[in-house]
Amino acid sequence: MKNDNESVRNNLLKKELRKKIQNKRNNLPIWDRKKRSKIIAEKFVSTAYYINSNNILIYYPFRSEIDVTIIIRQALKNKKNIILPRVHDRKLKLFYIDNLKKQLEIGAYGIMEPTTGLCRVAKISGIDLVIVPGLVFDKNLNRLGYGGGFYDRLLPLIPAGVKKIALCFDIQVVDSIPVSEHDIKVDLLITDTNIYHP
């Protein structure tokens, strides 16, 4: 019973946290989000993780998320392979993309996704770096997603040793997040003002 109560309490806390941070992020002016996104992208592409990677799993930004298309474009210029997810049967299918303008279409939840007929399927075993989306993070590298569980299902399948990096605005970082047993931490968190290591 105690565990059930704890679980209900945690879920309520998560819901409140999601709402609070989503509102904060939505309230950032567009010019400010652009400026901060650029700072975060520059920090990320100067890391050894990025420099030494070949196959990067990333996501397409949605609504007020940090603009990771800056990173996608840079990576394609640097001749790296970019992998984007597509929602299929409550799971994420992965595809290589090399052209943001021609190979994407509006998919589930209104997010741009790879067009299946135009993109090669990517194998999870080939990934050597993951950029994990999230709405709220804490200083201990815990992550709170949007509640769909897509990455909770995907992350355990990522090969051991592959680094999972999160990028967000500093207003998305809190002191602590309620966590469950199955939650997977990220290995590095980069914001516009900080870099959080384990």
What's the confidence (pLDDT) of residue 129? 98
DSSP label at residue 135: S
Which range marks the domain in which residue 157 is found?
2-82+129-196
3-class DSSP state of 150: helix
Q: How far is it, in rounded angstroms, from Cα 141 to Cα 168?
A: 12
> Is position 46 within any domain?
yes
Q: Which pTM does this prediction carry?
A: 0.94
Residue 104, pLDDT score: 93
Question: SS3 string of 64-128?
Answer: CCCCCHHHHHHHHHCCCEEEEEEEECCEEEEEEECCCCCCEEECHHHCEEECHHHCCECCHHHCC
Residue 39 lies in a domain: yes
Evaluate whether residue 104 is within a structural domain.
Answer: no
- Residue 180, both tokens: 């469950």
Print burial letters for 52-78: b (CB count within 10 Å at least 16), e (below 16): ebebbbbbbbeebbbbbebbbeebeee
Angle at 41 between CA 185 and CA 25, to 5 degrees: 70
Q: Which of 124, 103, 28 is nearest to 67 (CA)?
A: 28
Once rounded to an integer, what is the mean pLDDT over residues 61-88? 96
Average pLDDT, the chain: 94
Q: How confident is the model at residue 154 (pLDDT cuts 50, 70, 90)?
A: very high
- 110: in domain: no
Whether residue 120 contacts residue 95, with contact meaning beta carbons closer than 8 Å, is answered with yes
User: What is the phi/psi pair of residue 50, to 5°?
Assistant: -70, -50
Enumerate residues 6+ apart whose C-beta is below 8 A from 176: 138, 139, 140, 142
Residue 2 confidence (pLDDT) above 80: no
In the chain, the number of structural domains is 1
Question: Rg of the chain over CA atoms, in angstroms?
Answer: 16
**Residues 82-121: tens digit of each pLDDT:** 999 999 888 899 999 999 999 999 998 889 999 999 999 9
Classify residue 139: in a domain, yes or no.
yes
Q: Is the pLDDT of residue 126 over 80?
A: yes
Give the DSSP H/E element, type plus range, for residue 165: strand 163-167
Whether residue 95 is contained in a domain is answered as no
Q: Hey, what are 27's tokens?
A: 């309230």
pLDDT at 183 over 90: no
Query: What pLDDT digit, counting tens, does each position of 24-44 carry?
Result: 999 999 999 999 999 999 999
Is residue 63 within a helix (H) or strand (E), and if so which, with residue range? none
Q: What is the pLDDT of residue 9?
A: 87
For the chain, percent of residues with pLDDT exceeding 90: 83
Q: What is the CATH number of the domain that holds 134?
A: 3.40.50.10420
The predicted pLDDT at position 88 comes to 87
CA dist., res. 191 & res. 106, Å (int): 28
